[in-house]
Structure 1
Amino acid sequence: MHWLADLLAAIGVVLNGLPQGIMAMTLGFAVFPTSFSFILASAVNGAFGSVAPISFQAESLALTGNLGRTFRERTSIIFGGSIIMLVIGLTGSLSKIVSLLGNDIMSGMMAGVGIMLAKIAIDMTKSEKRTGWLSIAVAVITYILTKDLVWTIVLSVVVSSLYAAFVERYRADLPEHVTARRFFLTKPILNRNVVRGALSLACLNIGANISYGLITGQMTGIKPNPVNLNLLTSTQALADMGTSLLGGAPVESIISATASAPEPVIAGIMMMLIMAVILLVGWLPKIGRYVPSASIAGFLFILGAVVIFPEDAAAALGGAHIMVPAITLVVTAVFDPFAGLMTGAVLKFVLPLVGLGV
């Protein structure tokens, strides 16, 4: 009966990813071309036996939506970030970057991202106040009672969406390129916003691939850790590069419950293929018409303020030298991950040269 346990784990991760897929649609990303990212990743995982799947990731979506002012800027940010990550993956530089900067600076950057997500969640309530605050309230109560992120996502999104649909009569008219089951070639553009966004997205993915990838590997109980971080990084980069040119959404590394299934590779592949089918047949846009963007606010708030920030802040500030990771955290939260990571790197190597301890 291993297959049933694998299927249930896959369905659980799909349920986790659907609200974030809806979030991707509210940012203008097309879902049909995104399906091929899942197909590509499932083929790679099957060929190489990787246990780490990819899916919609709230952090990358929130960052892209926050830094990209228009749809073309957002797809260009993803394309630029994927080029950077492909180079890192193919050259095997991921672990070297982390070793050079140190886990405390990387954790400081990720903790700053947690604050960014919480702020974005609060900002979402400004346009749809009742739906947004209801989502946050349900998410907080659910997480306090269950400590389960999947239940937090499902209940906060479902309850706030039902309120919006039946009380506020919410119906969304999604753009044609979001719902159409065909390709729209999207030519990348280059400007200051895109460069900043691409660098920030790459910095976020460096931290996420290391932390989420290794956590997923640890969940298998197999030693040594079965996750090939360079393969995960290259796969994610190729998937994002292709889908961004067609207006699709980014798909990144996640902490996946499929890793705890009896056959973690098979469960991960099943999850990605189920998600691909949902996108190919057009079910997600039909659901998305009744789900306002503010319904995801509760999940983002819990993810940022309760899940990401405390653990990464403790890791960043738990050592003997806390000034540099603390500044990295604050600069990331105020500006973006690239500014935070670069500030931390400069301080780490410059302060000792002028006789200041870090």
Structure 2
Amino acid sequence: MHWLADLLAAIGVVLNGIPQGIMAMALGFAIFPTMFSFIFASAVNGVFGAVAPLSFQAESLALTGNLGRNLRERTSIILGGSVIMLLIGITGTLTKIVDILGNNIMAGMMAGVGIMLAKIAVGMAKQERLTGWMSVALAAATYLMTKDLVWTIVVSVVGSSLAAVFIEHYRAELPEHVTARRFVFTKPMLSVRVVRGALSLACLNIGANISYGLITGQMTGIKPNPVNLNLLTITQSIADMGTSLLGGAPVEAIISATASAPEPVVAGIMMMLIMAVILAIGWLHKLGKYVPSASIAGFLFILGTAVIFPENTATAMQGSGATVAAITLVVTAVADPFAGLMTGAVLKFVLPLLGLGV
């Protein structure tokens, strides 16, 4: 009955990804071309026996939506970020970057991302008060009781969406390009905002691929860790590169419960193929009409404040590099991940050369 356990694990991760897919639609990303990212990643995992799947990731969506003002800017940010990550993956420099900067600075950057997510969640709640604040309240109560992110996202999204539908009679009309079952080329653009966004997204993915990828590998119980970080990075970057040119949403590394299934590779492939089918037949955008974008606010708030921030802050504040890591954290939270990492690098390497220190 291994296949049943694999299927149940896959369905659980799909349920976790659906609200974030709805968030992608709210940001204007086309759903139909995104299906090919899931198909591509499932094929790669099948060929190489990889246990780490890809899916919609709240952090990358929130960052891209925050830094890009419209669909063209957002897809250009994703394209630029994927090109950077492809070069990193092909050259095998992912772990070298972390070795050079150090765990403190990387953890400080990720902790700053946690604060960014909380700020974005509060902003959503201020814009759509009933849905947003109810989502935050439900998410906080559910996480305090269960300490489970899947239950947190399901209860907060479903509860706040029902309130919006029945109290405010919410029903969204999604843009035609979001729901169309066809391909529309989205011409990339180049600007200071796009370059900054691409560098920030790449910095976020460096941290996420390492932390989320290795955590997923640990869940398999296999030693040494079975996740090939370079393969994960290459897969994610190629998947994003293709769909971004068609207006599709990014799919990134996640912490996936499929890794704890009896056959983690099979369960991960099942999850991605189920998600591809949901996107292909249009179920996601049908749900999206009744799910406000602010319904994800509670999950983002808990993810940022209760999951990402505490864990990474604890790592960042260890040892002699704590002060630099703390500054990296603050700059990331105020500006973006790229500014945070660059600040950390300058403080760690440049100032000592000038006879200064922090």
Report what 2:207 is aligned to. 207
Report what 2:36 is aligned to. 36
1:126 aligns to what SS in structure 2?
A: helix
Alignment-mate amino acid for residue 145 of structure 1: M
- Aligned equivalents of 2:349, 2:160: Cα separation in 1: 48
Report what 1:342 is aligned to. 342
TM-score in terms of structure 2 length = 0.99
- Aligned equivalents of 1:127, 1:322: Cα separation in 2: 36
Report what 1:88 is aligned to. 88
Shift of 1:357: 4.1
- Aligned equivalents of 1:321, 1:279: Cα separation in 2: 45
In the TM superposition, what are the counterparts of 1:55-204 in structure 2 within 5 Å? 55-204=55-204
1:5 pairs with 2:1: no
Report what 2:325 is aligned to. 325
- Aligned equivalents of 1:242, 1:357: Cα separation in 2: 44
- Aligned equivalents of 2:80, 2:320: Cα separation in 1: 36
Report what 1:252 is aligned to. 252
Alignment-mate amino acid for residue 197 of structure 2: G
Would the aligned equivalents of 2:104 and 2:321 in 1 still touch at CA under 8 Å? no
2:190 aligns to what SS in structure 1?
A: coil
Kindly provide the CA deviation profile for residues 189-210 of structure 1, in whole angstroms up to 9, marking residues without a partner as x. Answer: 0011100000000000000000
Kindly provide the CA deviation profile for residues 168-227 of structure 1, in whole angstroms up to 9, marking residues without a partner as x. Answer: 000101000100111111010001110000000000000000000000000000001000
- Aligned equivalents of 1:39, 1:322: Cα separation in 2: 42
- Aligned equivalents of 2:331, 2:40: Cα separation in 1: 36
- Aligned equivalents of 1:320, 1:75: Cα separation in 2: 39
Shift of 1:130: 1.1
1:47 pairs with 2:47: yes
- Aligned equivalents of 1:143, 1:126: Cα separation in 2: 22
Shift of 1:21: 0.1
Shift of 1:353: 1.8
Shift of 1:127: 1.5
Would the aligned equivalents of 2:55 and 2:252 in 1 still touch at CA under 8 Å? yes
- Aligned equivalents of 2:172, 2:127: Cα separation in 1: 14
- Sequence identity of aligned pairs in percent? 80
Shift of 1:323: 1.3
Gaps of 5+ in 1: none
- Aligned equivalents of 1:86, 1:131: Cα separation in 2: 38
- Aligned equivalents of 2:356, 2:302: Cα separation in 1: 37
Alignment-mate amino acid for residue 323 of structure 2: M
Alignment-mate amino acid for residue 254 of structure 1: I
- Aligned equivalents of 1:271, 1:220: Cα separation in 2: 16
State the Cα RMSD in Å.
Answer: 0.7
Shift of 1:346: 0.9
- Aligned equivalents of 1:190, 1:181: Cα separation in 2: 28
Kindly provide the CA deviation profile for residues 254-301 of structure 1, in whole angstroms up to 9, marking residues without a partner as x. Answer: 000000000000000000000000000000000000000110000000
Report what 1:351 is aligned to. 351
- Aligned equivalents of 2:210, 2:268: Cα separation in 1: 18
- Aligned equivalents of 1:127, 1:225: Cα separation in 2: 43
1:12 aligns to what SS in structure 2?
A: helix
- Aligned equivalents of 2:120, 2:8: Cα separation in 1: 32
